[in-house]
Amino acid sequence: MYCQNCGTELPESGVCPNCNPSFPQPKPEKKQEEKSAEKKQKQPFRLNRQTRSYAAILSALLVFPSSLSIAIDLSFHRYDFWFGYVVGALFVVWVCAVLPVLKVFPAPVNAVICFASVLGYTAYVVNKTGHLEWLLQRALPLFVLFAVFVSLDVMLISSKKANALAILSAISFEIGIYLVAIEATYRMSLKTLHWSPILACGFVSVGAVFLAFAYIGKANKKDDR
């Protein structure tokens, strides 16, 4: 049977779906997609195999030099132990390279933990060596700046919004700034800089290119949707 008004084939109920506004209409697909997206967001984060393998392998690799340095130091030295330098540095590496990947804490918390670990290791080195004047004037500012940059990188890596190109762009900008900071700390002045501004311009330019590609990639994804 067909509708006398529009000629549409009638279902078993005999009611035309086009002419009768009370006929039940199928739900739009967009609402179903939105519900599925909300369900995905509510699901807890799960580590994939590659992430778990990376965390396990890197953690195991860091255990060996730590235990070896402790064993050697305890066997051959009795008074002034040096294994703290090795263990502390490897611990900072684990905090900055493994902890953000596991995503146990939010991105800002990971950044604070990494910053605290770098500063803690710096304080240990200062206390151990005793060269307070040289370290406070030369090394400590560079360590603090390094801790800030590492914290920012960890926060970017831990966040879901930043892609690989954006992270590389941030690292390029940070390297340029850090080179200027190294020469400024060595010369104790910003007016007598020679080589660092030239290299910094190169890294800043590379970072700008990475940032442009990251923006283009996000814009293309939005257009595809």
CB 47 within 8 A of CB 102: yes
DSSP state of 136: I
Determine the pLDDT at residue 46: 57
Domain span at residue 178? 161-225
Determine the pLDDT at residue 45: 46
Q: How many separate domains does the chain show?
A: 1
Determine the pLDDT at residue 209: 92
Q: Is residue 98 part of a domain?
A: no
CA distance 123 to 88: 11
Q: Is residue 214 part of a domain?
A: yes
Determine the pLDDT at residue 43: 47
Q: Is residue 27 part of a domain?
A: no
pTM: 0.51
- If the chain, 225 residues long, is cut into consecutive pieces of 10 residues, what is the mean pLDDT of each piece? 70 71 53 54 55 79 85 74 84 83 79 83 77 66 78 74 81 88 80 84 91 84 66
CA distance 131 to 79: 19
Determine the pLDDT at residue 191: 78
Determine the pLDDT at residue 44: 46
CB 47 within 8 A of CB 37: no
Alpha helices in the chain (DSSP H): 29-42, 49-76, 83-97, 99-102, 107-129, 132-134, 140-158, 164-187, 196-224
Q: Is residue 165 part of a domain?
A: yes
Q: Is residue 221 part of a domain?
A: yes
Q: Is residue 197 part of a domain?
A: yes
Q: Is residue 185 part of a domain?
A: yes
CB 9 within 8 A of CB 1: yes
Q: Is residue 209 part of a domain?
A: yes
